[in-house]
Every structure is written in structure tokens, then in C-alpha cells.
Amino acid sequence: MPSHLNVPTKYWELTKEVPAPPCVRGDIASWIIANPADPLWDIDVLPLTYTDSRWSAFVVRCDEPTRRRLVPNPPLDLWDGDNADLVEYWYVEHINTMLGPYLEFGVTVSATYKDPKGNVWKGGYYPYMYLTSDAAVDAGRVLGFPKKMSYIRITTHGGEKGTDFFGFAMTRNGYLLHSATGKFDDKQVTPPHFYGKTDWGKFNMKVVTRPDLSSSEWQLTYIASELPEAMQGMIKGHRFKIKPEHTRTASGDAINWFAQGTPFDNMGVEVKIQEITGCISFVFDLVIPPPSVLWTETYERPASYRGYATPYKYGLRQQFPISQGS
Amino acid sequence: MGLQANEYSYPWLAEGEVPPLPADRDRIHILTQAVIDPVFDYDIVPLTYTESRWMAYIIRADINAMKAICPEPIEVQDDVIEFWYVIHRNTMLGPYMEFGVTFSATVDDGTGKIYKAGYYPYMYLSNDSAIFAGKEPFGFPKKAAYIAAFEHGNNNNWFNHLMERRGYIIHTANGRYSDKPLSVKPTFYGKTDWGRMNYRMTTRPDVSNTIHEVTYLPSELPPGFGEGHRFQLDPSSVRTANGDDIRSWYLSGTPFDFMGGQIPPTEIVGIISFTFNLIIPGAETIWTKKVERGADFDWGTIMYSKPFEYTMRHRFLLPQYSQG
């Protein structure tokens, strides 16, 4: 006789740590993403906090033509003030978050937005982000973050302090996107302009496409440094809190570096680097509240729209090693 | 130390193997973010599949349990469920593994018109581009998981399936094809008047509202996509096994994935496997509801966790995306 076993455990009936699924909760205003039977992430992600994450940011110098391609205009403009050419090229180890642990990579460029009333919004804009977790990618994408999944490695080890040497690497679909190794020499590194500025927030560009592909709405989102009023009763102050006692730095001379574009990821082609000025690594706590939407624009497609592919003909971008998933 | 190189060439562009860089395109050719390098791009359109291998367990469950997980306006029609794995070898999204559950369901669009379709409450995939190309425009309920699915042995007589996420086994089953007929099949099998439905939810970045939609893919191809149906099955590839041929079966609810707790089978009827080609065109929207969270909304009702306090659902093995 065959063995057929079903273990129909409903964890939300065993512990309040697990929220009942949306279809059981009933109150439709509490449903954030599909599917109501079992969403990829749910209300126990909120408020979205992070504790003791480690940020390791390579600071690279990029000229204006490079940065201009990275920042969508309209509606954004490049920041043209102090250290405008310093771009952050960063990895993060997230240990404790409401989305669970994950590794992350991103690029941040200083940018501004002038609204129709003349108000100027300043922020770091993210052209690229990669993560190792599906739920963290999706939760970010709902807010407009440009997240993809990739394989990421972060190692700090050895030396007098036990964390003197570092290795970072990122691959996707079998291609190496970036690798950096080196040693923290704790020399002075000039950060991008937005470091430590409480009047600077973060920009993202979300795109929402209709199910019939007839149009896409672009939405510029903005997360201010200060927490919104609705959250002030719960958490005080600013979103990002550095623990300065853990900060390490490496000068450009202490960093080995390789980056390339791939058929699937153009970051290594678009981010043209004049100089790798150094690396700044620190530990921090974080809160990510919902952003505000500053600008929208809809782009319509004709009914005859057929994309770029030829049916049933598979080329370079459709061929890579099959994955069993994560 | 200090050895550094950046390779900026993009040789695939000159041969037409990759589309123009997004920064050089009209914005109508950008379907999602990142706007400089989208997670799925317009070279997946039209979205076709060639010689995918579908392996579908047919199970029965308590119809009231099935109804309990389907939101308005989805109406479950019977207790027969398709519980399927797929190996996608050639697709516009590249190769990937997939799992899903399909109910026979109907929707009244509000005018009295009844749409009949397979409805997906659960799906899992191994590839990020395929997940977000399914979730964002169409509403497929895709998550990432570790999925192993294969046939092997003489004449590929033996099959095995395994799915894991965040350290918990969600499902595994294996057995041998006997090619015996099954006592029941899903209602939508072979019916060209039955399409596929998804429940899409799009939440505004400031969470001030969520738009709920039922999207519908008819069986027949839309104008401009040629004649015929979206799903083309190769009849010579069909293999079957009944419940007694399924040597082992294990399904469990987990803290992260509720399927095993929500629809435990009352009967494992058997398995049907086949090879097929597929097209997924743009979907129709047949039902919409907008839920506003206005000035009087109590945000405390959706702040389920306590700031900086991490509990069971926030703790699991560090995920490493193996598609690297």
C-alpha cells in the first residue's frame, strides 16, 4: 500500500506570531497583496523594521553623462552640488528584518525633483537593486524599488580585528556581475553628498502595467528621512540610525574590483566608473514607511503592440542554466 | 591590492541578441521597473513556451475548504483539484521550474455574463523574472521555492516531485506510471470555453488604496496572435497513474506557506503528465473593486508586528537565490 500523509497544520491557529491569511481575516482593507489565500508577504511585515544590518558601500566616481542615463528625466534631475559625482555601490547583510534575513545590493545616485509648485525634493535614487529573498523583492517593488533576485555573497573575516578582510560577489543567470575583495585600512573616504543629511530622502520609480499591456503608469515615489506622523507614536526620529562604533573604511588602493555587463543585466555597461574611491562599512537600524507619490505619467501602447520577441524562437536571453530555485 | 577592471562592452547588441538598452528606448517599451534594466523586459512579448512538461496530480478536497480560500467573486464549481508541476525548458523567460494549484471556478462579471476558468490560488517558481512577469501584469500568485520535478528510468516510467521553501518541505510525491485511466479529471480539461483566472491586487506605494481585479485569459488566441488555442497538447506524450501507483505523498502546512493546511486532499486520484506548447497574451480584466484607505483609516489594523521585535515568521535560513 502506498503511504499518503497530509499534515494540515494551520500555524495561525497555533501561535499569534502568524497572522491569519487575508481570506480568513475578512477585513478587505487589511489585504495588501495577492493571493488572499496565502500572500507572498503579509501584515506581519509591518511596520517594516531592520536591526543590526551591515551596510558596505563602495564609493565610485561617475561622470555626468553616465549619471544622466541612470536617472530618468523627466521627472528627476541630477544633483549638481557638492560631491555630485560620487555614486554609492553597496551591499547589505540583513540579519533581523520583518521580511526575514536576506542579502542585498544596490546603486544610489544623488538626484532632485522639482514639483509643479516649485518645491525641490532631494534624494538618493536607486537605478539598480538585487536581493536574495522573494518576499523582500516583492515588498520593495510594491513601493517602487527596482528589485531583482540574484545570488549574493558577503564575507568579512580575518586580520587583527577578525573582520579586516572582505569579499563581495554577485551573479545572476550564470554570469558574474561584480566581485570585490580587499582589506579595511580605515583611511578617510569621502561619502556621497546625501550621507547624514536629514533633508535628503530616497526616490524610486515604480511602473504599473495593465493586464492587457495597453498602458503603463510610472510613479515617482519618495521616502523622507523623517518618519511620517502616523508612525511617530510607534517609532521616534529618523528612519536610518547608524551605530558608529562599528564603522570600517577601505581606501581605493585597498580594493580589488571586477564588474561587467551581462546579457541579462546591464549595470556593468551603464555604470561607467572613473574611480573607485573607497569603501565605507557600518551597522545600522532602519524603518521603511510607505512613500509618497510625487509624480505620475501614463504611457499608452497601441492595440497592435507585439513586443520584441518572435513567437517560439528562443535566443541568447532565453537560454541559461535552469534553476531549482532558492 | 588595488587591481581593478570594468568591462563595458555589450557585444550582444550588435548581433540583435538583446534588445536596445532601456535608456535608449521609447518608454512604451518598458513594462516594469527597474526602468533602466527591468526584471522582465519587452523581449518576453509575445510570451511563448515550447515542449514544457506538465505533471498534474489530480486530487479531491473538502469543497468548503476550497471555497473558504477564494475571494469574492470567485465561485468554486467542484471538489476536483489540479495539483501540478511543470518543467519549462524553452520559454521567453528562459527555463524554470513551476508548481501550481488549479480549481474549476466561475465569475459573474456583474452584468450576468459568466466566465468559466481554472483559478490559481497558489503558485511557486524557481526564477525571478517569471515570478514578476506573472504577478505584476496578470496577478498570478507566484512565490519562489526550491522545486525538483523529473521523470526517469526505463521509458521515463518513474516520477518524483519535491518542493521546499524556507527550510520547510511543502510537498513531495513519487511513483510509477501505469497508464491506467483516472476516475475523474478537472472539469476544465479539454474545454475550449474555459480559460484561466487570477486575482490581481495592486497596492499604491503610499498604501492609500488597493485595486482588486480578476484577470481572464480565454482559451482562444486573441486577434493578431494567429488562429487556434493558447494551449497545444502533444497527445502522444500523455502518461497516467492512478492513486495506488503514487508510492508516496506528503503535504504539509508551514508557517510561511498555508496550502497544506488549507486544502488537505480527501483523495489522491492519480497523475496525468503531458508535453505542450503555450502562449500567454495580455489578459482581460473582468471584475474590479477599489478599496480605499482614507483619512479615517486605522493604520494600526495593518501594523501586525511590533517595531524591532522579530518572531517566528521573521526567522529562517538566509535565502541564497540559486539562479546565480
What are the extents of the domains in chain A? 45-318
Q: What is the mean pLDDT of chain B?
A: 96
Closest CA of chain A from B7, distance in Å: 5
pLDDT digits 0-9 by tens, B24-75: 999 999 999 999 999 999 999 999 999 999 999 999 999 999 999 999 999 9
Q: What is the pTM of this model?
A: 0.97
> Quick check: A19 and B252 CB within 8 A?
no
Q: B31–A45: do the CB atoms touch at under 8 Å?
A: no
Report the SS3 class of residue A136.
helix
What homologous superfamily is domain A45-318 in, according to CATH? Acetoacetate decarboxylase-like (2.40.400.10)
Q: What is the pLDDT of residues B286-306, one digit of tens each?
A: 999 999 999 899 999 999 999
Asked if pLDDT for residue B224 goes beyond 80, the answer is: no
Is any Cβ of chain B less than 8 angstroms from the Cβ of A254?
Answer: yes
> Taking CA atoms, what residue in A is nearest to B87?
A322
Nearest residue to B265 (alpha-carbon basis) of B189, B184, B166: B184
Nearest to B314 among A11, A100, A234 (CB): A100
- Predicted confidence at residue B225, as pLDDT, reads 79
**Chain A residue whose CA is closest to B170:** A7
CB-CB under 8 Å, A32 with B201: yes
Q: Domain ranges in chain B?
A: 11-39, 45-314
Residue B320 — very low, low, confident or very high, per pLDDT cuts 50/70/90?
confident
A307 with B45: Cβ contact below 8 A: yes
pLDDT recorded at residue A323: 81
pLDDT of residue B223: 80
CA A174/CA A322 separation, integer angstroms: 10
Per-residue model confidence as pLDDT tens digits over A57-66? 999 999 999 9
Tens of pLDDT, residue by residue over B231-241, are 999 999 999 99
For A189, how many CA atoms within 13 A lie in the half-sphere containing its CB?
A: 33
Using a CB-CB cut-off of 8 Å, the residues of chain A touching B204 are 219, 293
Q: What is the pLDDT of residue A326?
A: 63
Under the phi-then-psi rule, with left for phi > 0, alpha for psi from -120 to 50, and beta for the rest, what region is A224? beta
pLDDT tens-digit series, residues A87-127: 999 999 999 999 999 999 999 999 999 999 999 999 999 99
Does the distance separating the beta carbons of A218 and B27 come in below 8 Å?
yes
For residue A252, the chain B residues in CB contact (below 8 A) are: 2
User: Which residue in A has a C-alpha nearest to residue B260's C-alpha?
Assistant: A8
Q: Nearest by CB to B44, from A34, A206, A309: name it.
A: A309
- A24 with B37: Cβ contact below 8 A: no
Residue B181, SS3?
coil
The rounded distance, in Å, linking the Cα atoms of A183 and A159 is: 9
Per-position pLDDT tens, chain A of length 326:
799 999 999 999 999 999 999 999 989 999 999 999 999 999 999 999 999 999 999 999 999 999 999 999 999 999 999 999 999 999 999 999 999 999 999 999 999 999 999 999 999 999 999 999 999 999 999 999 999 999 999 999 999 999 999 999 999 999 999 999 999 999 999 999 999 999 999 999 999 999 999 999 999 999 999 998 878 888 888 899 999 999 999 999 999 999 999 999 999 999 999 999 999 999 999 999 999 999 999 999 999 998 999 999 999 999 999 987 76
Residues B46, A291: C-beta atoms closer than 8 Å: no
Structure confidence at residue B52 (pLDDT): 98
Q: Going by CATH, does the domain composed of B45-314 fall within 3.40.50.2300?
A: no
Which residues in chain A are contacts of B96 at CB distance < 8 A?
322-323
User: B1: which chain A residues are within 8 Å (Cβ-Cβ)?
Assistant: 182-183, 253-256
Q: Which of residues 222-241 of A touch B (CB under 8 A)?
A: 230, 234-235
| Burial of A245 per CB tally in 10 Å (0-12, 13-18, 19+) | exposed
Q: Do B322 and A324 touch (CB under 8 A)?
A: yes
B105 neighbors B76 (Cβ within 8 angstroms): yes
Distance, C-alpha B187 to centroid of its chain: 19
Closest chain B CA to residue A15: B312
